[in-house]
């Protein structure tokens, strides 16, 4: 039996319960997801030259799923204070896959709507009908599984012309006494001339229990909209995360996605961007720091479907001990799409002989009059720079730390929230000197 069959069987057995506890907009997506899973198989390690994660093994454990929508005996608004110092945000919590939205959370939203998918079914049915599930590709079995099992999620809706003065912070807390699969769904819709910044933080409370975080995020950026999405992972070493992000950009829109992994167990981050409007700009940034037996795999795909648009990607890894990293990126410029500028970079630093990095950047171009490039490097710490600092009284460990921090600086500097950018410089320093541990309260908030 392949790993997916146990969850298909779970759905079939509890189908009535699942659909009773879920909004109609999600239930409408399940038949297609079930069909897609009928012949689907999860990839195994080594099937491709850059397939570094055994996806079948990740899903093989008999994870529990919160089918009956039991709430958890915790008030996350009281137990967690995960606000970046001096950064004022509108803060929302999700405990495992149960959203907690208080009246306080909804204050000062400047016209932005943040609500559960269940609430949105009554309040904004047209938004859900037009966008939920439209971008998420069911040919990926992990996306199909999320679509089959998700029972709620969050909608962030920014109507035409609305600008959120404060960032929207989504604090995702993982905690379980038994092996658990957390199934999350997020839909972000920014209308014409809308502006929003989102900060999503993943944290594990406690340790020693296997948790699989399976999430799907869909982002629609309307004409001349600006969407910044910062994705910070600081979970436990017993946590596996499989996250798929789908973005659609219309004319003149600007989207920044910055994914930062500071602590984790096993992580697969997938990004799919469809540029469908001219003069749109896309910025994909990623930063990973991994040590021990941690594992981070990033996949990106940017499709330029129209002329005169730009995209820039830069993903950086620092790997120590026996950590494993992987990157596979592809830029597609379709026929009839001149004057596109697309750049893709992957820079990697293996700080120990046993660390491993797999990388495969790709360009696929079917038109003339474009500017495009891709490149990758895998290296070790600069011995000459190490020697230079040692001769000036800097210890070997301090020199290593300073070089690794400098290596990551340009990705951190891409953050367009000043306070968050400064905080990340500090957290990266803590991570490299070994004093940043898995979250027991919240390291982002300064503990």
For residue 51, what pLDDT is reported?
A: 58
Q: In the chain, where are the structural domains located? A: 3-445
For residue 111, what pLDDT is reported?
A: 92
Residue 279 CA to its chain's centroid (Å) = 25
What proportions of the chain, in percent to the nearest 5, are helix, strand and coil? 25, 40, 40
For residue 386, what pLDDT is reported?
A: 62
User: Cα separation of 423 and 425, whole Å?
Assistant: 5
CA atoms within 13 A on the CB side of 404: 27
Instruction: Confirm if 267 and 296 have CB atoms less than 8 A apart.
Output: yes
For residue 387, what pLDDT is reported?
A: 60
Tokens representing 94 are 């999700």
Residue 74: name the closest of 58, 54, 93, 55 by CA.
93
For residue 347, what pLDDT is reported?
A: 93
User: Cα separation of 84 and 199, whole Å?
Assistant: 10
Instruction: Confirm if 93 and 76 have CB atoms less than 8 A apart.
Output: yes
For residue 447, what pLDDT is reported?
A: 40
End-to-end Cα distance, the chain:
45
Instruction: Confirm if 218 and 186 have CB atoms less than 8 A apart.
Output: yes
For residue 170, what pLDDT is reported?
A: 92
Instruction: Confirm if 270 and 240 have CB atoms less than 8 A apart.
Output: no
- Burial of 25 from C-beta contacts in 10 A (0-12 / 13-18 / 19+): buried
Grouping H, G, I as helix, E, B as strand and the rest as coil, residue 93 is: strand
- The DSSP line for 263-330 is E-SEEEEEEEEEE-STT-EEEEEEEEEE-TT-EEEEEEEEEE-SSS-EEEEEEEEEE-TT-EEEEEEE
For residue 300, what pLDDT is reported?
A: 97
For residue 72, what pLDDT is reported?
A: 64
Residue 146: name the closest of 180, 183, 118 by CA.
183
| Series of mean pLDDT values for 10-residue runs along the chain (447 residues) | 90 95 95 95 72 85 89 56 61 88 77 95 95 96 97 96 92 88 97 96 83 97 98 92 98 97 94 98 95 95 98 95 94 97 94 91 94 87 64 70 79 86 85 64 43
Residue 99's alpha-carbon distances to 211, 392, 434, in angstroms, are: 17, 53, 33
Tokens representing 247 are 């973005």
Bridge-partner residues for 114, per DSSP? Answer: 156
Tokens representing 172 are 């995702």
């Amino acid at each position: 039996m392949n790993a997916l069959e146990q969850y298909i069987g779970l759905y079939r057995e509890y189908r009535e319960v699942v659909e009773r506890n879920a909004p109609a907009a999600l239930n409408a997506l399940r038949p297609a997801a079930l069909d897609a899973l009928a012949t689907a198989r999860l990839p195994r390690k080594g099937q491709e030259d850059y397939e570094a994660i055994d996806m079948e093994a990740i899903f093989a454990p008999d994870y529990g799923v919160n089918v009956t929508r039991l709430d958890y005996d915790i008030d996350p608004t009281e137990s967690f204070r995960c606000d970046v110092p001096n950064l004022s945000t509108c803060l929302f919590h999700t405990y495992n896959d149960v959203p907690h939205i208080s009246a306080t959370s909804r204050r000062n939203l400047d016209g932005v709507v943040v609500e559960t998918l269940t609430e949105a079914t009554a309040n904004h049915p047209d938004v859900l009908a037009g966008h939920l599930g439209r971008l998420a590709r069911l040919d990926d079995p992990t996306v199909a599984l999320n679509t089959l099992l998700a029972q709620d999620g969050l909608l962030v809706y920014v109507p035409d012309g609305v600008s959120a003065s404060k960032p929207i912070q989504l604090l995702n807390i993982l905690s379980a006494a038994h092996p658990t699969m957390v199934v999350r769904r997020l839909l972000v819709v920014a209308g014409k001339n809308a502006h929003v910044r989102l900060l999503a933080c993943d944290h594990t409370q406690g340790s020693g229990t296997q948790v699989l975080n399976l999430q799907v995020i869909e982002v629609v950026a309307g004409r001349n909209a600006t969407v910044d999405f910062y994705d910070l992972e600081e979970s436990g070493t017993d946590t596996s995360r499989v996250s798929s992000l789908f973005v659609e950009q219309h004319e003149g829109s600007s989207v920044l996605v910055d994914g930062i992994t500071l602590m984790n167990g096993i992580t697969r981050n997938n990004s799919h961007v469809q540029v469908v409007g001219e003069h749109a700009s896309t910025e994909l940034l990623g930063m990973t720091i991994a040590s021990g037996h941690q594992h981070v795999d990033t996949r990106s795909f940017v499709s330029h479907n129209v002329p005169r648009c730009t995209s820039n990607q830069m993903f950086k890894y620092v790997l120590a001990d026996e950590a494993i990293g992987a990157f596979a990126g592809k830029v597609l410029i379709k026929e009839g799409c001149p004057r596109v500028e697309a750049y893709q970079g992957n820079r990697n630093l293996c700080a120990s002989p046993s660390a491993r990095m797999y990388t495969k950047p790709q360009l696929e171009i079917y038109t003339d009059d474009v500017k495009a490039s891709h490149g990758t490097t895998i290296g070790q710490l600069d011995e000459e720079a190490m020697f230079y600092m040692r001769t000036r009284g800097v210890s070997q460990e301090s020199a290593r730390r300073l070089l690794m921090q400098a290596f990551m600086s340009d990705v951190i500097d891409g953050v367009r929230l000043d306070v968050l950018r400064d905080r990340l410089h500090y957290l990266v320093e803590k991570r490299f000197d070994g004093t940043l541990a898995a979250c027991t309260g919240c390291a982002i908030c300064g503990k």
